[in-house]
Amino acid sequence: MYRRRLTASIDCLRYLLRQGLPFRGHDESITSSNQGNFLEMLRWYAGRKKKVRQVVLENAPDNDKVICPAIQTDIVNAASLETTRAILNDLGDEFFAILVDESRDISNKEQMAVVLRYVNKYGSIVERFLGVVHVKSTTAVALKT
């Protein structure tokens, strides 16, 4: 049952990650008409899969629902590591460039986007987004470290 619960959560999170959608809602309470993308998608998924419906959300033990923000973060971090490994495997021992750009987010904090650019084994130029890092300064020296 745990494996089915975890797999359902991972499937929903993978979809949201691929689409670049936020997971959480402003109000995830039981009375909310929209509990956020993750919970709404999990509910939708359970509505279409009987075996999933039997073990998730209201049918799961309170201490084992596999839906809390900390678990969502752990799953996303694991997906990030696997994605980075796949990119590095595709890169192999070839030359590459790191593209860095900075911007301020809505809360006025500096962020740095990191992209890896390389030519794959088929001769195609590939750019892969690696992540966003918060930075304290946007000087070249600060961005380099």
CA-nearest of 99, 42, 98, 47 to 65 is 42
* Rounded CA separation 9/66 (Å): 7
Q: Say how many CA atoms lie within 13 Å of 46 toward its Cβ.
A: 21
Query: Domain check: are 54 and 24 in the same one?
Result: yes
Same domain for 67 and 129, yes or no, is no
In a domain, 87, yes or no: no
Task: State yes or no: pLDDT of 58 exceeds 80.
Answer: no
Residue 78 in any domain: the answer is: yes
Asked if residue 69 and residue 29 are part of one domain, the reply reads yes
Does one domain contain both 17 and 75?
yes
* Residue 107 within any structural domain of the chain: yes
pLDDT tens digits for 87-125? 999 898 889 999 988 888 788 888 889 999 999 888 999
Domains in the chain, number: 2
Report the alpha-carbon distance of residue 104 to residue 134 in Å, rounded.
9
Print the domain residue range for 63: 2-82
3-state secondary structure (DSSP) of residue 71: helix
